[in-house]
């Protein structure tokens, strides 16, 4: 091992020496020379940061220096500088031309992943990226100095292609290891060992630390230990109960995957203690930023502040530079090999425990023609890869044995209401689930009599939907809806089902909604026999842009998706808190879905575990676990799943009526003009009345 490290250090030293020589060299193009000098300067900064870390600078430097160093690493992509950055596709293409702009923009973006690798001491990851940069640079240098020419753009793309292909096996192995084992203790050690009352600990991650993270950590440090315990206990108990209510054996598991935003360490320290009491050790990894680890605008692992969301949006499809059938096959091959290597560890993986945040400033993405995008054939290949990789993972991580939990809290960026909203969120997360369980059972008993539901909007909401319900064979033993309390999806408050697709028709509309961190204005989906047949929104100036936005981020590039879930949210307390504090539009779907009826496009809530029997607290089996698409798993498994599930909620103030309609045509109102009117559910309206709605 020491010999291998010596070799890696030598490779890094050689690369650093070569980068130093670049300053005096010319490439026959001032714009290209400027690009390589700029990126070379960033790499020098990375290597200087590495020396700073190895010398113990995080412990000895004054806090002001740590702040300045952190900002300097991300300064080039911050919004105020992004207009001149080679990480910006528009700048790169305009300055370097169409032939080189996209691949060199991607190269700089990939090199920016070095920040995290330097902080975690990933020596091999550092070496291979420095060498990638030099391989590209030397291609230009050689052609100019030997032939007074510039290389073909195809030559540059080939270098990038072989980089992602050659290191696919290494990255797959590391990714699976970090997912199913506690081998990477970088973040866990920060949570367990650092002085969380000292801002210094934030800078040990290497993530961008904005005012959000500083204020969040400062606020968390002021909370009483009792409050911290309540937050952690709600989070970990939700995880435990998720196993209990589904009849899964948590005692057979050893690893819990932790996902969180930097700043929540004090709560997580207590949570790790709770998990350890359940026999679980944490697997915590950094949100990926390198193409080798499949980065996305959707966060996983641990992550800091978002330096520039437009930067993330611009690079979401960088894989299109090299995505072909061979690449897909290579990725699938190494994924199988990696899972096979960690076969036993994968069986001990219990699932993710997620701490989400909300309250970020509004973000309206700009579609740039210079940004890399997937072509039609590549889109089909990517869908094929997502489906096949999901199947591989499910072979080793058994869906019927794992679970999850998700809890959400606001961040300071939401404004002056932050502290009050944080307190209210804790209250919402700890509502009396027994009360809701009883009321929700009354709603379910009514829905079990219905053939379909009718949902109609009001106050400008154009929704007019008929949702067909699963038929019962034995009403004494079976039920159509799950009575969902505070376990995997915290907070409490919904009943849900998998609708029958045939007969589910109409329009779903919502005036404003955030889905996966992106805002949609006047989002409208049309359904025929449960499948989306049309969609629109008002985010962009053209119909084509709006449809492309929805297809990419709601339909996840599929032509059409089924309605995988129909639910009725009952958490009127959360709704009124959001209205009182003016934050309704910024709530995450985790909370928003409990604040009115919601509909998911994609797979059902029982995706891949339809054959496992699930029961409500009253002992009845929930039989609506599949739809006509999911049923294809028996005959055409490749067509049964889409590997996505996006909830869209109609808020109470846009809901004219929701009724259960029996086979004889009798209509039973459950909600009318935003109020619960079914006898026995009146207590849900108390939140409206107490706050003067």
pLDDT of 663-675, one tens digit each? 999 999 999 999 9
Tokens for 638, please give them.
């490749």
Helix (H) or strand (E) segment spanning residue 90: helix 89-111
Residue 78 carries which DSSP code?
S
- Tokens 């096959």 locate to 329
Q: Which of 57, 151, 61, 139 is nearest to 97 (CA)?
A: 151
Torsion of CA 123, 126, 128, 129, to 10 degrees: 170
User: What is the reported pLDDT for 486?
Assistant: 61
What per-residue confidence (pLDDT) applies to 488?
Answer: 74
Return the closest-CA partner of residue 373 out of 330, 314, 298.
Answer: 314
Q: Is 332 helix (H, G, I), strand (E, B) or coil?
A: helix
How far apart, in Å, are the Cα atoms of 551 and each of 313, 321, 585, 640?
Answer: 15, 21, 22, 19
Tokens of residue 362, six digits: 């509004």
The packing angle between helices 376-396 and 325-341, to 10°, is: 10
Q: How many CB atoms lie within 10 A of CB 64?
A: 8
Residues of the chain with pLDDT under 50: 693
Closest residue by Cα to residue 349 from 362, 335, 336, 339: 339
pLDDT at residue number 638: 80
- Structure token digits, residue 493: 């408050």
Contact 594, 569 (CB under 8 A): yes
**Cβ pair 538, 508 in contact under 8 A:** no
519 forms bridges with which residues in the sheet?
A: 514
Phi, psi torsion values for 83, nearest 5 degrees: -65, -10
Q: DSSP per residue over 405-465, as a string?
A: EEEEEE-GGG-TTHHHHHHHHHHHHT--HHHHHHHHHHHHHHHTT-SEEEEEE-TT---EE
Angle at 5 between CA 104 and CA 72, to 5 degrees: 45
The 8-class DSSP code of residue 616 comes to: -
Q: Mind giving me the DSSP string for 118-179?
A: HHTT-HHHHHHHHHHHHHHHHHHHHHHHHHS----HHHHHHHHHHHHHHTHHHHHHHHHHHH
CA angle 240, 229, 572 (to 5 degrees): 75
What pLDDT is stored for residue 516 in this prediction? 77
Nearest CA-CA partner of 564 in 633, 661, 643, 485: 643
User: Strand pairing partners for 410?
Assistant: 358
Q: What is the DSSP string of 216-272?
A: HHHHHHHS-HHHHHHHHHHHHHHHHHHHHHTT--GGG--EEEEEEETT-HHHHHHHH
Distance CA 363, CA 79 (A): 12
pLDDT of residue 24: 84
**What pLDDT was estimated at residue 297?**
84
**Is the omega angle on the peptide bond into residue 491 within 30 degrees of 0, that is, cis?**
yes
Residue ranges covered by each domain of the chain: 2-166, 177-406, 432-690
Token pair 């437009």: residue: 310
Classify 375 as helix, strand or coil: coil
């Amino acid at each position: 091992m020491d010999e291998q490290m010596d070799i890696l250090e030598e490779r890094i030293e050689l690369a650093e020496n070569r980068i130093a020589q670049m300053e005096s060299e010319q490439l026959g193009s001032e714009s290209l020379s400027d690009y390589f000098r700029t990126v070379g300067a960033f790499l020098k900064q990375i290597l200087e940061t590495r020396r700073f870390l190895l010398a113990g600078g995080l412990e000895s430097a004054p806090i002001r220096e740590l702040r300045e160093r952190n900002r300097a690493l991300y300064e080039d992509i911050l919004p105020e500088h992004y207009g001149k950055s080679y990480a910006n596709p528009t700048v790169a293409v305009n300055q370097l031309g169409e032939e080189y702009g996209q691949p060199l923009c991607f190269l700089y973006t990939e090199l920016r992943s070095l920040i995290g690798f330097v902080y975690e001491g990933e020596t091999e990851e550092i070496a291979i990226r420095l060498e990638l940069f030099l391989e590209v640079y030397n291609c230009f240098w050689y052609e100019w100095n030997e032939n007074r020419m510039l290389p073909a753009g195809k030559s540059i793309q080939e270098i990038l292609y072989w980089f992602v292909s050659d290191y696919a096996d290494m990255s797959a192995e590391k990714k699976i290891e970090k997912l199913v084992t506690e081998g990477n203790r970088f973040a866990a050690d920060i949570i367990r060992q650092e002085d969380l009352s000292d801002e210094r600990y934030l800078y040990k991650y290497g993530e961008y630390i904005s005012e959000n993270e500083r204020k969040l950590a400062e606020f968390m440090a002021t909370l009483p230990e009792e409050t911290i315990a309540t937050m952690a206990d709600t989070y970990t108990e939700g995880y435990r109960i998720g196993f209990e209510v589904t009849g899964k054996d948590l005692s057979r598991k050893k690893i819990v995957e932790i996902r969180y935003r930097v700043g929540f360490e004090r709560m997580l320290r207590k949570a790790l203690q709770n998990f350890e009491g359940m026999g679980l050790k944490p697997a915590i990894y950094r949100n990926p930023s390198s193409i080798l680890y499949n980065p996305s605008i959707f966060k996983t692992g641990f992550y800091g502040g978002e330096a520039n969301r437009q930067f993330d949006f611009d690079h979401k499809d960088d894989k299109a530079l090299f995505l072909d059938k061979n690449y897909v096959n290579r990725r699938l091959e190494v994924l199988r090999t990696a899972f096979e290597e960690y076969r036993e560890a994968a069986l001990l993986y219990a699932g993710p425990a997620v701490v989400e945040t909300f309250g970020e400033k509004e973000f309206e993405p700009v579609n740039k023609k210079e940004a890399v995008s997937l072509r039609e054939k590549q889109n089909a290949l990517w869908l094929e890869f997502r489906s096949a990789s999901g199947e591989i993972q499910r072979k080793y991580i058994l869906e019927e044995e794992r679970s999850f939990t998700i809890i959400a809290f606001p961040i300071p960026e939401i404004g002056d209401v932050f502290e009050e909203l944080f307190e209210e969120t804790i209250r919402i997360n700890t509502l009396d689930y027994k009360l809701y369980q009883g009321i929700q059972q009354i709603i379910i008993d009514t829905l079990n009599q219905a053939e379909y539901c009718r949902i109609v909007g009001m106050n400008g909401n154009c929704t007019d939907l008929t949702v067909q319900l699963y038929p019962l064979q034995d009403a004494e033993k079976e039920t159509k809806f799950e009575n969902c309390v505070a376990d995997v999806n915290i907070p409490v408050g919904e009943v849900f089902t998998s609708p029958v697709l045939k007969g589910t028709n109409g329009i779903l509309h919502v005036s404003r909604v955030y889905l996966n961190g992106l805002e949609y204005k006047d989002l409208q989906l049309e359904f025929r026999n449960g499948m989306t047949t049309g969609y629109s929104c008002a985010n962009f100036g053209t119909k084509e842009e709006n449809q492309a936005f929805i297809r990419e981020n709601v339909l996840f590039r599929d032509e059409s998706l089924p309605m995988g879930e129909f639910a009725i949210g009952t958490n009127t307390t959360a709704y009124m808190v959001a209205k009182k504090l003016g934050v309704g539009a910024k709530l995450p779907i985790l909370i928003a879905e409990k604040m009115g009826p919601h509909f998911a496009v994609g797979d059902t809530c029982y995706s891949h575990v339809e054959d496992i029997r699930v029961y409500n607290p009253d002992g009845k089996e929930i039989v609506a676990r599949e739809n006509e698409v999911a049923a294809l798993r028996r005959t055409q498994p490749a067509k049964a799943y889409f590997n996505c599930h996006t909830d869209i909620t109609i808020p109470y103030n846009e809901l004219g009526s929701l009724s259960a309609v029996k086979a004889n045509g009798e209509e039973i109102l459950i909600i009318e003009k935003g109020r619960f009117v079914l006898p026995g559910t009146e207590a849900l309206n108390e939140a409206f009345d107490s706050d003067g709605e």
